[in-house]
Structure 1
Amino acid sequence: MTASLAEVRWPITTARLTLRRLVEQDLEATWSYRRLPEVSEWITAAPEDFETYKTQFLESGKIDRDIAVEIETAQGPRLIGTVMLYVKDAWGQREVVEQAKSVEAELGWSFNPQFTGQGYATEAVSEVLRICFEDLKLRRVVAECFTANVPSFNLMERVGMRRESHQKASGLHRSGQWLDGYSYAILKDEWAQRRRP
């Protein structure tokens, strides 16, 4: 059976956050910060207008993989970021390939810079790791970024992921430059060990 976000009981609350499935009506809120230069510098696509953003987002299937992160304000809930959780197959030799299906996830994220430096991203990604390992029963979670995206790899390290590789000139940035990248991962056993008192 394929692990799916549909199997999780939403919404999920943490000490300060509510995590829920992203819906199409959230796209304007995500566009409001994803179009900012300090965010669009690192995300996969940086369209110039909302209609293009909406079309690309819906066609990519991200609406089915993204988790909305909200805080409670005096005016009610406010979306401050999203965490992508993409369940995928691990590599396996032909004789055991079925056992490698839907056993790992790739994470990605974007947060409104107005809310950085307050631990919200760490809290959200930590909870998504719990979802991966406890609710979805996955065995491994990975994440990647350009080496110049210091806040992103710092977040990976804060939540217990370890750097597995440093790839030289591995990704083409929209600036036209080939940039170095980092790959991070955490296994279920490693995550469980960190949670023990």
Structure 2
Amino acid sequence: MISSLDDLTWPVRTERLTIRPAIAADAPSAWAYRRLDDVARWMTTQHAVEEGFTAAFVEPARLARTLMIERDGQIIGDLMLAPEDAWAQAEVAADAKSIQAELGWSMDPAHQGHGYATEAVTALIRICFEGLGLRRVVALCFAENAPSWRLMERVGMRRENHSVRDSLHRTGGWMDGYGYALLAEEWRAR
């Protein structure tokens, strides 16, 4: 098992895409699509100005969990791979350290509808299970974010929960949320 993204061989190539760790110089390209209303409305943090976005983007902890998606050398989206500990009882907690990951993504709307997100997230899951040796991946979204939960289903994740009005959106409304997951053995059985 590989313990860190730094231990993997980069870039990872798919049929049409290149996936690689983010660098500080990627901030302007990511800002170009993350500032758009269709993308920003679902992001955890919405920045009003590029400087604020860049400051957050280049934080070492964020860069360490961000991967960029390129098509023909152009950045078209990004992925989040955030390893985390699984819940465990105290006596076995050491065995649950960094054994799963939360996944996330955002795509430039100009490149949506061509299967790039499905291709990129499938590669991300492969990285998690085959490269990092994780046992489980999870992803969360607002229930109203249909493109995100449909993507989760396309890549083989299963909906594990539907929480009712548990997520406060920046617009001031409480929204339902969905949680999806996939186990390594489910991935291998595909």
Give the structure-2-normalised TM-score: 0.97
The unaligned stretches of length 5 or more in structure 1 are none
Deviation above 3 Å: which 4+ runs of structure 1? none
**Aligned pair in 2 of structure 1 residues 60, 11: CA closer, same or farther (>3 Å)?**
closer
Write the distance in 1 (CA, Å) between the matches of 2:150 and 2:171.
23
Q: Secondary structure at the match of 2:189?
A: helix
Q: Which residue of 2 aligns with 1:53?
A: 53
User: What is the aligned length?
Assistant: 190
CA RMSD of aligned residues (A): 1.2
Match of 1:169 in 2: 165
2:74 to 72, 78, 81: 78
Identity of aligned residues (%): 49
Distance 1:120 1:9, change over 3 A: same
Partners of 2:7 and 2:175 in 1: how far apart? Answer: 37
* SS of alignment partner, residue 51 of structure 1: helix
Partner of residue 106 from structure 1, selected from 102, 108, 120:
102
Which digits, 9 at most, give the CA deviation of each residue in 1:122-171, with x for residues without a partner? 00000010000011000000000000000000000000000000001111
8 Å Cα contact 1:2/1:101 also seen in 2: no
Note the C-alpha offset of 1:182. 0.1
What's the counterpart of residue 116 of structure 1? 112
For 2:151, what is the secondary structure of its paired residue?
helix
Partner of 1:41: 41
Q: CA deviation at 1:190?
A: 0.4
Return 30-39 or 4-13, whichever deviates more.
Answer: 4-13
Matched, 1:7 2:12: no
Contact kept in structure 2, 1:3 and 1:87, CA below 8 Å = no
Partners of 2:183 and 2:50 in 1: CA distance: 37
TM-score when normalising by structure 1:
0.94
